[in-house]
Amino acid sequence: LRGGLSEDDSEEEAEEAVEEASRQKMGQKEEESPDLQLNLDIDEQFKLPTNEQIEREDILFILVFLPAEPPDLHIIHQRIKGNMEVLQDFVVKREEGRTRQEYLTLLRRDMAAYYSYSDFLLMKLMDIFPLPELINFLEANEVPRPVTIRTNTLKTRRRDLAQALINRGVNLDPLGKWSKTGLVIYDSSVPIGATPEYLAGHYMLQGASSLLPVMALAPQENERILDMCCAPGGKTSYIAQLMKNTGMILANDSNAERLRSVVGNLHRLGVTNAVVSNCDGRQFPKVCSCLLWGGVLGGFDRVLLDAPCSGTGVISKDPAVKTNKDEKDILRCAHLQKELILSAIDSVNATSETGGYIVYCTCSIMVEENEWVVDYALKKRNVRLVATGLDFGKEGFTRFKDRRFHPSLKSTRRFYPHTHNMDGFFIAKFKKFSNAIPQAQKEPAVEAATPSAVPDTVMEPQLKKKKLEGSKVDKEQKPPQPALKKRRSLQAQRRPLKA
């Protein structure tokens, strides 16, 4: 061997030399890293790029098959920061001859490129959030929400469950003061979804925001409750837990495949007061009520409607939402939600001694799927909004752009990932005060969110139309006009009595 060194010694020296060179290289990269130079010079004024620069970036971004580099995200990030600074003090910092709209257009384009959103969705989000809060929302969607579990008090206590999981190497804490059953998992040396405690039904993997609608519903023992869109069964089992397996829960979902997970979870968690059904939620007042309660409309004490939605509140779980949603998708969801919420209201008994409540919730933050739907229900049925009973969350919108909603929408609640560190959620709670349907609304035609924006084919329900057996409804028959009735009544009063 050369120089009196063994082969092992020479290999160790070579490895040390490589590591030293690597450290020096990393040090140079850190010094040159653009992340350390994101703050613009105080004296440097942000200037909008020229049209030629924007066109060149678009070409590099779209024509990815060309041998060219993708857009420089560092430059885009710097532009976003500089643009935000100008917009926050526009009169002083704006560039001569440039309008606010030009800055906003560039900002929307840059944020769409940097965070990989469609231009449509970015524009909708800019309508909902102030610009600084929008950045926080977009950043929060890049990070997964904490893993949370709900203790099944039908089988154990939270204290005992926490100790059992800690003994298995799970690092956890209570979810918060607002929850008596939730636990947040930081890290674990065992799979949380495969522990003996999980298989024995001692807990349910469930997002923190999914606990809130059931807490707002506040089910009581021995009540009849409908969970209209129940899959995968987390909320249904929580309702049964609060009811202590008394009363009756009708766990319904229109998707038969998803009901398999519902049945499995209810068995595992020891739920014995639930009946599982596969029915279109829009048909409940016409079918299920007459079958189960002898034709009495509104047989349930409470109804939970976790409506199908666009999923814009759970982007961290499903990043595809960033680009695969458009205006028609939002309006299609809103149309279905309006039909479902009227059905949910009609399924509740207003004269219930303990209930008469409906909770409507979505995992969307779009106004068209939330406040718009709730405002529609207030106009179409004899219901009013009441407090959700949740002591945190942001108030719902009472005005949005050129729309004005009922003032009571302040009692609805919005939850955001950047504010509450949970999935985006919307919750509203109704109290039904009469089983009668307003005369003009007995055969409602669900209005579209923006009728001119969507063709008729989109707004039609995508179900096979089946005439109910024994139905006496004539499609061409029109309800009598109240004004005409009143006129005839007055005419009858004016006629002289015959001798």
Annotated catalytic sites, by residue? 363
Q: How many other CB atoms are found less than 10 A from the CB of residue 7?
A: 8
On whether the CB atoms of residues 273 and 248 are closer than 8 A, the answer is yes
Q: Is 326 annotated as a binding residue?
A: no
**3-class state of residue 84 by DSSP:** helix
Q: Is 231 within any annotated ligand binding site?
A: yes
235 is in an annotated binding site: yes
| Residue in 288, 281, 285, 329 with CA at minimum distance from that of residue 307 | 281
Tokens of 38: 């994101």
Interior angle at CA 266, CA 160 and CA 150, nearest 5? 35
Instruction: Return the closest-CA partner of residue 373 out of 336, 400, 424.
Output: 336
Q: Are 126 and 134 in contact (CB under 8 A)?
A: yes
What are the two backbone dihedrals, phi and then psi, of residue 369, each rounded to the nearest 5 degrees? -95, -5
Partnered with residue 252 across adjacent β-strands are: 277
Are 110 and 126 spatial neighbours (Cβ–Cβ below 8 Å)? no
The DSSP-derived string for 261-276 is HHHHHHHHHT--SEEE
280 is in an annotated binding site: yes
Alpha-helical (H) ranges within 148-271 are: 158-167, 196-199, 208-217, 234-243, 259-269
Cα–Cα distances (Å) from 6 to 3, 9, 13, 19, 283, in that order, read: 9, 5, 11, 20, 84
294 is in an annotated binding site: no
Distance, in Å, from the CA atom of 426 to the CA atom of 413, rounded to the nearest integer, reads 6
Q: Return the closest-CA partner of residue 215 out of 185, 184, 182, 247.
A: 182
Separation between Cα atoms, residue 287 and residue 281, nearest integer Å: 10
Q: Is 230 annotated as a binding residue?
A: yes
Is 456 annotated to bind a ligand? Reply is no
Three-state DSSP class for 207?
A: coil
Q: Which residues are annotated as a binding site for S-adenosyl-L-methionine?
A: 229-235, 253, 280, 306
Q: Which residues are annotated as a binding site?
A: 229-235, 253, 280, 306
